[in-house]
Amino acid sequence: MHDQPSVSELVQAVKNFIDETAGPNLKGHAAFHARVASNALASVLRDLEQRPAQESAEAARLIELLGAEEEADVGALNRKLSEQIRAGTLTPETPGLLQHLKATTIAQVEIDQPRYSGLNTAKS
């Protein structure tokens, strides 16, 4: 299959259209939605670029924390992690738990809202 333009290039092109052509012609609530749409596409671009490496690092940490099977997917592992925290098997004192959650959340906010103030606090 072809990838010219690639998915990222197409998303970038639509974002350019919103930022440079459509957005400036909108007023009021529609103009606000155009900015939200542009920010959403910026998240899409970061997600495409950053998720593969971040999610495999997350999976590796989860497998170690939970002593799980290597082939389990991240969704199932996070469900299992949630259950064990809810059951009190894993607590803030559990070695590695807070560090894992922090690393995972930092990676998520880097994609979702990289300018969010809480991210700087977490990284400082």
Partner 1 sequence: MGSKSDFENSLHTLFTRVFGENASLETFRRLSGGASQETWALSGSGEEAILRRAPGGTSMARSSAAIGLSAEAKLISAAQDVGVPVPRVLHVLNDEDQVGDGFLMSWVKGETIARPILRNEEYATARDVLAGQCGAALADIHAIPLESAPPELQTSDGLAQIAQYEEIYRGFDAPRPVFELALQWLKANAPAPRPSVLVHGDFRLGNLMIDESGLVAVLDWELAHIGDPREDIAWLCVNSWRFGQSQNRVGGFGQLGDLLDTYNAKTGADITSKEIDWWETLGSLKWGIMCMIMYEAFRSGADASVERAAIGRRVSETEIDLINLLEAAHA
List the interface residues with partner 1, window 58-87 (CB under 8 A): 78-79, 81-83, 85-86
Site for partner 1 (CB under 8 A): which residue of 6, 13, 16, 33?
33
How many of the other CB atoms lie within 10 Å of CB of 41?
Answer: 19
CA–CA separation, 63 and 69 (whole Å): 7
Q: Give Cα separations from 39 to 22, 64, 73 (angstroms).
A: 14, 35, 29
Closest CA to 108 of 95, 118, 96: 118
From the list 1-9, 28-36, 49-57, the region that binds partner 1 by CB under 8 A is 28-36
**Residues making contact with partner 1 (CB under 8 A):** 28-29, 32-33, 36-37, 39-40, 43, 78-79, 81-83, 85-86, 88, 91-93, 97-98, 101-102, 104-106, 108-109, 111-113, 115-122
